[in-house]
Amino acid sequence: MENKSSERVHCLIIGSGPAGYSAAIYTARANLKPVLYQGIQPGGQLTITTEVENYPGYPQGIQGPEMMVDFEKQAVRMGADIRFGLATKVDFSKQPYKVWIDDEKLIEADAVIIATGASAKWLGLESEQRLNGYGVSACAVCDGFFFKGKEVAIIGAGDTAAEEALYLSKLSPRVHMFIRRDTMRASQIMQQRVRETPNIQLYWNTRVEEVLGDPHVEGVRVRNAQNGAEQIVPVKGFFVAIGHEPNSGIFKGWLNMDETGYIQTIPGSSRTNIEGIFAAGDVQDRIYRQAVTAAGSGCMAALDAERWLSMKPKNN
């Protein structure tokens, strides 16, 4: 007799951003009866994004949370079973694959689509979180347009920070770039491009103490780590580019990952090193990290899962 705390499903989707919901829409239309668990942040990173202007099909733009509600409604209309719950443990040693939800319920799935996303790393300042979405952002490509013609600041020293500073330099009269040490981690070519861009002002050995403003960002208070001198830099936007962390911890030891924890997929597909396990969205994309690319990879994962399940003998 089956344990009441366990359930067998055909296709399980873990995560509920653009990748997870797109996978749910496609798998539901293919009659795979997908079950989707939304995770700790239903809707993913877009739920902490205000205006989304670069997603095709929304000529006037749309609020991030509203967009994710639309995605969810569409998935439900197609027949997806959307549930609240967090995947806390997995066992991918044999089929059906086992996933525990909230350390209690066991789901056994013929195929699993992982769309758990990535989380931006933050400085941990109260003011940074208070002004998140009101001038503070972790994505210059997403939000830089809103600060066109205004001075902005960015903190970070890697390739992503350099790329975002260069992007912002095309929109802003001055980009104040705070670097916490006396060197950058970015590749030499990216460092050279930053240094050669006249409207990027570099601040070495600089720590951000506080983001200023209410209700919107008005400036940043910084401190020089060598001499302790403080200064206030007036800006309208503050971008944090100190890295992202893929939400892949529970899959370590099962799936191939790169050195920072992004799940590695077979090029041109969403397939992982375990057949029947697929990954989509920011948990496997360290390069683009956009809503539209996440949605596209969710579609890929759904189609890959459908093809794989259609070739697999059905077990009851």
Domain range 122-240, its CATH number among 3.40.50.720, 3.50.50.60, 3.90.1150.10, 3.90.180.10: 3.50.50.60
pLDDT value for 160: 84
> Over the stretch 261-288, which tens digit does the pLDDT of each residue have?
999 999 999 999 999 999 999 999 988 8
The DSSP call for residue 250 is G
Question: Would you say 299 and 23 are in contact if contact means Cβ atoms under 8 Å apart?
Answer: yes
Asked about 11 being catalytic, the answer comes back as no
- Mean of pLDDT over the chain: 93
Active-site residue identified among 139, 282, 285, 304: 139
Cα–Cα distance, 126 to 124 (Å, whole number): 7
> Over the stretch 281-297, which tens digit does the pLDDT of each residue have?
999 998 888 899 999 99
CATH class, domain 6-119+244-311, is alpha beta
Strands 230-234 and 136-137: unpaired
Q: What confidence tier does 47 reach under pLDDT thresholds 50, 70, 90?
A: confident
Q: State yes or no: pLDDT of 50 exceeds 80.
A: no
Asked about 304 being catalytic, the answer comes back as no
Query: Residue range 13-34: average pLDDT?
Result: 97
Instruction: Name the residue ranges covered by the structural domains of the chain.
Output: 6-119+244-311, 122-240
Query: Residue range 72-77: average pLDDT?
Result: 97
Whole-Å CA distances, 207 to 139, 151, 154, 155, 254: 20, 19, 11, 9, 38
pLDDT value for 314: 59
Asked about 143 being catalytic, the answer comes back as yes
Question: Would you say 231 and 220 are in contact if contact means Cβ atoms under 8 Å apart?
Answer: no
Q: State yes or no: pLDDT of 2 exceeds 50.
A: no
Of 49 and 253, more confident = 253
Active-site residue identified among 11, 110, 142, 299: 142
Question: Would you say 49 and 56 are in contact if contact means Cβ atoms under 8 Å apart?
Answer: no
* Closest residue by Cα to residue 22 from 43, 41, 40, 7: 43
**Buried b / exposed e along 67-76 (16+ C-beta atoms within 10 A):** bbeebbeebb
Identical topology for domains 6-119+244-311 and 122-240: yes
pLDDT value for 95: 94
pLDDT value for 1: 34
Active-site residue identified among 11, 91, 110, 143: 143
pLDDT value for 64: 87
Percent of the chain with pLDDT over 90: 84
Label residue 207 exposed, middle or buried (CB < 10 Å: 0-12, 13-18, 19+).
middle
> Over the stretch 127-146, which tens digit does the pLDDT of each residue have?
999 999 999 999 898 889 99
Q: What confidence tier does 76 reach under pLDDT thresholds 50, 70, 90?
A: very high
Q: What confidence tier does 203 reach under pLDDT thresholds 50, 70, 90?
A: very high
